[in-house]
């Protein structure tokens, strides 16, 4: 009995907590992806780079003497007009094309290539490590948790709930969903569809930026930081079911738990193929996603 408890306390629980932190990180990135993918039907391959952009903007702000809390507010606000301009300038140009899925995807691939190299050009290829704004650890029943990770769990919950409230419980959100559901009908009812699309994209981009600011103190900042993350975020969105927020959240947390716990038994190198295998299996067996039934509002 005590042996099992010790195993839990010193092996399993820290591993699960670690997985939970990664899970919250994945959910934070996936939530913006889910907005853009689920509502605009655009596969944003540059989403990881927007996440990195948020992190880089925060490090630039710190260098200017801005503190963490203000940067947390400011970085997403800076990214809103960037996202808006990118949607109007790039995505919208091919949005009416019959092959818009492929064309928008190609544009975002180009964008990710440009952004990744731009980070390298402006900030250098080296890894930047912002200071931890909330140092120290807290003890729970003999398990030590860094304070910043605790904060991250709370912040993740706030961001997810806030996004859900905006999309499903506000007039703006209703307009966004209406424009996504039936473009022509919404337009004839007076919804400024083009601006709503651009605004939705900007919203998703700002969410990625927010994730970047929040995660930079843990995962540090380097040009390809987003690229490594985006596949896991896509996996969460797909396994959860397109357009299902709760699905993406559950899937993100579940997949990272599987990854964390399985890495106790198999080489960590094989956890990624395992998680990807789950995504493939879901796509083949249940293309609508595992948690689509959880509801869309």
Residues that bind another protein (CB under 8 A): 43, 45, 90, 93-94, 97, 101-103, 105-107, 109-114, 116-118, 120-121, 227, 231, 234-235, 238, 269-270, 272-273, 276, 279-280, 283-284, 287
Q: Which is nearer to another protein, 66 or 109 (CB)?
A: 109
Q: Which is nearer to another protein, 31 or 238 (CB)?
A: 238
**To the nearest whole angstrom, how small is the minimum distance from the Cβ of residue 89 to another protein?**
9
Give the contacts of 269 (CB within 8 A, at least 6 positions apart): none
**To the nearest whole angstrom, how small is the minimum distance from the Cβ of residue 116 to another protein?**
7
**To the nearest whole angstrom, how small is the minimum distance from the Cβ of residue 16 to another protein?**
23
Closest CA to 205 of 70, 89, 51, 34: 51
Residue bearing tokens 């969460």:
236
Residue 143, class by beta-carbon neighbours within 10 Å (0-12 exposed, 13-18 middle, 19+ buried)?
A: middle
Residue bearing tokens 């996936």:
30
Q: Which is nearer to another protein, 46 or 191 (CB)?
A: 46
How far apart CA 118 and CA 182 sit, in angstroms, is 37
Token pair in block for residue 182 = 């039936």
**To the nearest whole angstrom, how small is the minimum distance from the Cβ of residue 25 to another protein?**
18
Q: Which is nearer to another protein, 125 or 142 (CB)?
A: 125
Q: Which is nearer to another protein, 6 or 117 (CB)?
A: 117
CA angle 226, 246, 292 (to 5 degrees): 105
**To the nearest whole angstrom, how small is the minimum distance from the Cβ of residue 263 to another protein?**
13
Helix 171-181, helix 147-169: angle, nearest 10: 70
**To the nearest whole angstrom, how small is the minimum distance from the Cβ of residue 68 to another protein?**
30
254-287 as b/e: b if 16+ CB within 10 A: bbbbebbebbeeeeeeebeeebeebbeebeeeee
**To the nearest whole angstrom, how small is the minimum distance from the Cβ of residue 209 to another protein?**
20
**To the nearest whole angstrom, how small is the minimum distance from the Cβ of residue 291 to another protein?**
17
Query: What is the rounded radius of gyration, in angstroms, for the C-alpha atoms of the chain?
Result: 19
Q: Which is nearer to another protein, 155 or 225 (CB)?
A: 225
What phi and psi values does residue 117 have, to the nearest 5 degrees? Answer: -70, -30
Q: Which is nearer to another protein, 171 or 269 (CB)?
A: 269
- Find out whether 201 and 91 touch, Cβ atoms under 8 Å: yes
Q: Which is nearer to another protein, 33 or 175 (CB)?
A: 33
């Amino acid at each position: 009995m005590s042996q099992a408890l010790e195993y839990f306390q010193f092996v399993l629980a820290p591993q699960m907590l670690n997985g939970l932190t990664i899970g919250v990180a994945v959910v934070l990135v996936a939530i913006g992806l889910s907005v853009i993918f689920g509502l605009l039907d655009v596969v944003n391959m540059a989403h990881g780079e927007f996440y990195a952009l948020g992190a880089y903007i925060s490090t630039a702000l710190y260098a200017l003497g801005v503190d963490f809390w203000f940067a947390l507010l400011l970085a997403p606000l800076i990214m809103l007009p960037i996202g808006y301009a990118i949607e109007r300038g790039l995505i919208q140009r091919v949005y009416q094309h019959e092959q818009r899925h492929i064309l928008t995807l190609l544009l975002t691939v180009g964008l990710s290539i440009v952004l990744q190299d731009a980070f390298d050009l402006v900030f250098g290829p080296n890894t930047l490590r912002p200071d931890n704004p909330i140092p120290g650890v807290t003890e729970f029943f003999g398990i030590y948790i860094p304070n910043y990770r605790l904060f991250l769990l709370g912040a993740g919950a706030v961001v997810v709930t806030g996004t859900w409230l905006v999309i499903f419980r506000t007039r703006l959100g209703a307009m966004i969903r209406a424009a996504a559901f039936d473009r022509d009908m919404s337009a004839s009812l007076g919804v400024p569809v083009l601006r709503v699309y651009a605004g939705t994209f900007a919203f998703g981009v700002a969410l990625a930026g927010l994730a970047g600011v929040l995660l930079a103190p843990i995962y540090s900042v380097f040009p390809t930081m987003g690229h490594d993350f985006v596949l896991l975020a896509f996996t969460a969105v797909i396994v959860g079911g397109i357009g299902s927020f709760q699905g993406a959240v559950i899937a993100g947390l579940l997949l990272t738990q599987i990854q964390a716990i399985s890495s106790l038994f198999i080489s960590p190198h094989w956890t990624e193929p395992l998680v990807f295998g789950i995504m493939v299996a879901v796509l083949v067996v249940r293309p609508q996603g595992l948690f689509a039934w959880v509801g869309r509002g």
